[in-house]
């Protein structure tokens, strides 16, 4: 009896990595399929920024819009008005006072990293981040989760990890949590999605 139980345990343990890997591969495949049909995507977001050692939270709200092969745009409305527009080449930040444009490739900050990763998500190319980052996949109930960490311990890295939460039903990005090396934790929650798909 012990021998049979031992064999069953070994067989189960051997099968688990394969099941996990299969689920991960299916997720990336479904994300790529769903994303390839999206022409534009819009909705609302709530951004909560907090410092790990302080009990202070700053909550911002606004709308976002993604247009395939063109841009990702965040329009903040609360507590102040500001727009951040990112394309494949630049980051443009507009306030009431001025507009500043930066080359995306030269930016070493959490916003630029978030923009790059969101761009890969929207295009369904999340798995291609494996060239630069380590991606850890888990699945729980109605969600897929991806934890992204830098492959190299570079002093220039701005974040410890970024966690993405996708709905299982539509492979939609619902939440992004950025843990910065500085101690800040920024959470984006996306809702009210409106999708324009190619026919």
pLDDT band for 189, please (50, 70, 90 cuts): very high
> Which run of H or of E encompasses 62?
strand 57-67
Q: How many angstroms separate the CA atoms of 133 and 148, rounded?
A: 6
pLDDT tens-digit map of 132-183: 899 999 998 899 999 999 887 777 778 889 999 998 877 889 999 999 888 8
Mean of pLDDT values over 84-106: 88
| pLDDT of 4 higher than 60 | no
Residue 106 has pLDDT above 70, yes or no: no
The pair of structure tokens assigned to 45 is 């977001």
Burial 159-197 (b: 16+ CB within 10 A, else e): beebbbbbeeeebbbbbbbbbbeeebbbbbebeeeeeee
12-37 confidence digits (pLDDT tens): 333 333 334 568 999 999 999 888 88
Confidence category of residue 38, pLDDT binned at 50, 70, 90: confident
55 pLDDT band (50/70/90 cuts)?
confident
Show the domains of the chain with their CATH numbers.
38-197 (2.50.20.10)
Residue pair 121/173 in contact (Cβ under 8 Å)? The answer is yes
Mean pLDDT computed over every residue of the chain: 82
Residue 2: pLDDT over 60:
no
Distance (Å, whole) CA 176 – CA 161: 11
Enumerate residues 6+ apart whose C-beta is below 8 A from 127.
28, 32, 135
Can the peptide bond before residue 137 be classed as cis, meaning omega within 30 degrees of 0?
A: no
- How far apart, in whole angstroms, are the C-alpha atoms of residue 32 and residue 22? 15
Out of 5-9, 83-87, 155-159, pick the least confident: 5-9
């Amino acid at each position: 009896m012990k021998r049979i139980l031992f064999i069953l345990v070994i067989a189960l343990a051997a099968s688990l990595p394969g099941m996990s890997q299969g689920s991960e591969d299916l997720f990336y495949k479904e994300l790529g399929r769903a994303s390839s049909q999206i022409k534009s995507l819009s909705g609302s977001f709530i951004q909560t920024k907090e410092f790990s050692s302080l009990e202070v939270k700053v909550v911002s709200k606004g709308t976002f819009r993604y247009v395939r092969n063109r841009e990702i745009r965040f329009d903040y409305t609360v507590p102040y008005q500001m727009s951040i527009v990112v394309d494949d080449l630049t980051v443009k930040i507009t306030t009431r006072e001025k507009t500043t444009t930066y080359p995306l490739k030269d930016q070493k900050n959490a916003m630029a990293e978030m923009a790059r990763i969101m761009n890969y998500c929207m295009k369904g190319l999340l798995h291609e981040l494996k060239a630069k980052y380590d991606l850890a996949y888990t699945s729980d109930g109605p969600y897929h989760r991806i934890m992204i960490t830098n492959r190299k311990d570079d002093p220039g890295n701005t974040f410890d990890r970024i966690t993405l939460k996708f709905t299982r039903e539509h492979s939609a990005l619902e939440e992004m949590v950025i843990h910065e090396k500085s101690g800040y934790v920024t959470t984006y929650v996306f809702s009210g999605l409106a999708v324009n798909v190619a026919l």
